[in-house]
């Protein structure tokens, strides 16, 4: 039994449809925000702008990233920044990246997961793919 000493009235009833609509609206906003973040990342990648790339991640030691290249695991923003610096140093000239099939399941609260396919291209003698194609995943 639940009681409230000193309360003059019961709490208002919860409208399940209103709560569901509010949750859907919140998820739609979260999904749009995450897609905008992915767009900022893609723009930063194409510009080789490491500061802008790192701006989409937490800026401290709590960052923990799994990547497709060895050592595959990076702990802390400084370590991941160094990885980006080394990556871009290997590929002078322009970079191109294309993303497709972005899916952003939002779990509610502060949990979501973004998955996409991306193809990165670099300029060698002529435009060609460097073979780095595959699914990309980012916890946000």
State mean pLDDT over 13-18.
78
Q: How many domains, in total, are found in the chain?
A: 1
The pLDDT assigned to 70 comes to 78
Q: Which residue has the tokens 């992915």?
A: 38
The pLDDT value given to residue 137 = 43
Q: Is residue 18, in this structure, part of any structural domain at all? A: no
Give me the torsion for CA of 87, 88, 94, 95, rounded to 10°. Answer: 40
Q: What is the pLDDT of residue 54?
A: 95
Torsion of CA 125, 51, 89, 66, to 10 degrees: -100
Q: Is residue 124 part of a domain?
A: yes
How many residues comprise the chain? Answer: 140
Report if pTM > 0.85. Answer: no
Report phi then psi at 74, rounded to 5. Answer: -125, 130
Does 64 fall in a domain? yes
Determine which of 88-97, 99-108, 113-122 has the lowest per-residue pLDDT on average: 113-122
CATH number, domain containing residue 53 = 3.10.450.50
For residue 109, tell me if it sits in a domain: yes
pLDDT tens, residue by residue, 29-71: 877 888 888 889 889 998 999 999 999 899 999 998 887 777 8
User: According to the model, what pLDDT value does residue 120 have?
Assistant: 60
Domain limits at 82?
Answer: 24-139
Where would I find the beta strands (DSSP E) of 3-140? 64-66, 73-75, 95-103, 106-108, 111-123, 127-139
Residue 72 lies in a domain: yes
Residue 78 has what pLDDT?
Answer: 96
């Amino acid at each position: 039994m639940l009681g409230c000493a000193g309360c003059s009235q019961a709490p208002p009833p919860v409208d399940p449809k209103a709560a569901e609509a509010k949750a859907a609206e919140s998820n739609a906003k979260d999904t749009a925000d995450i897609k905008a973040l992915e767009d900022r990342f893609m723009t930063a990648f194409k510009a080789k702008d490491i500061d802008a790339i790192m701006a989409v991640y937490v800026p401290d030691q709590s960052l923990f990233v799994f990547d497709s290249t060895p050592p595959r695991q990076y702990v802390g923003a400084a370590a991941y920044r160094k990885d980006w610096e080394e990556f871009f140093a290997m590929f002078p000239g322009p970079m191109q990246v294309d993303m497709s099939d972005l899916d952003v399941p939002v779990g509610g609260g502060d949990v979501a997961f973004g998955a996409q396919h991306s193809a990165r291209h670099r300029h060698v003698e002529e435009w060609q793919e460097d073979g780095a194609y595959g699914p990309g995943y980012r916890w946000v």
